[in-house]
Amino acid sequence: MNLIVDIGNTRTKYAVFDDGAWVECGLGLPEVYDLAKTYRENGKEVDLILSSTGAISAEVRERLREVSTFFCEVSSEIPLPIRLGYDTPKTLGVDRIAGCVGGAFLFPGRELLVIDSGTAITYDFVSADGEFRGGNISPGLGIRFRALNEFTASLPLVKCSMEHGYIGKNTHDAILNGVMNGILFEVRGYIDELLRNNPHAVVIITGGGSEYLKKTLKRTVCFEDKLVITGLNRILEYQKTVNYT
């Protein structure tokens, strides 16, 4: 049984895979400990992978080791099922690594553009032979709305909405349309450039902000809400192969 633990800036997510199939998911570190202990008490091996976008205390890391049969932590320095063609791999976020590994696993032998729309929007490119070629980082929805409010004297803070138009007739709508369409046009630009040079490439979009792109882009891209979790599970399987052989 594989237990995926993803500690973010505001919450901890976990997922369980058994024989490659997704079983369940949830939130919270106490729940992770209880779940792992239950599986161990029932005679199951618990192979655990830890991913974090921030610092993790030694206590948390040690407790996760204690409840697992096999333990590993994601970083750019561990063996990976893809190659990292990046000048500064130590600065590469583990979520970006996992998303690209997930994409390469789902679409082997295809050139990929992996777009993760979260707090930031990341655009990452993977070659057909499995090399992470690099990518770009752009402000996400929330950052753009807050920036217009915080760095100007009179513009209000506007919330994102599925219901937006093209030309604003008031300040609220001008901001809403500007941010929502700005992201949409940006994403389209990356997709169009990739497909212009490689019409057989695959575009995968994930992340919480991807909901705002589905209505317009769903016919030309693949939306995978479990992409990062799938990638982490693939990295865990790879680690077990490396360490057990």
Active site residues: 95
Instruction: Please provide the size of the chain in residues.
Output: 245
**What is the rounded CA–CA span in Å between residue 122 and residue 114?**
8
DSSP class per residue in the chain? -EEEEEE-SS-EEEEEEETTEEEEEEE-HHHHHHHHHHHHHTT---EEEEEESS---HHHHHHHHHH-SEEEE--TTS--SSEE--S-GGGS-HHHHHHHHHHHHHSTTS-EEEEEESSEEEEEEE-TTSEEEEEEEEE-HHHHHHHHHHTSSSPPP----S---SS-SSHHHHHHHHHHHHHHHHHHHHHHHHHHH-TT-EEEEESGGGHHHHHHHTTTSEE-TTHHHHHHHHHHHHHHHHHH-
Pick out the residues of the known binding site for substrate.
Answer: 86, 93-96, 171
Binding residues for K(+): 116
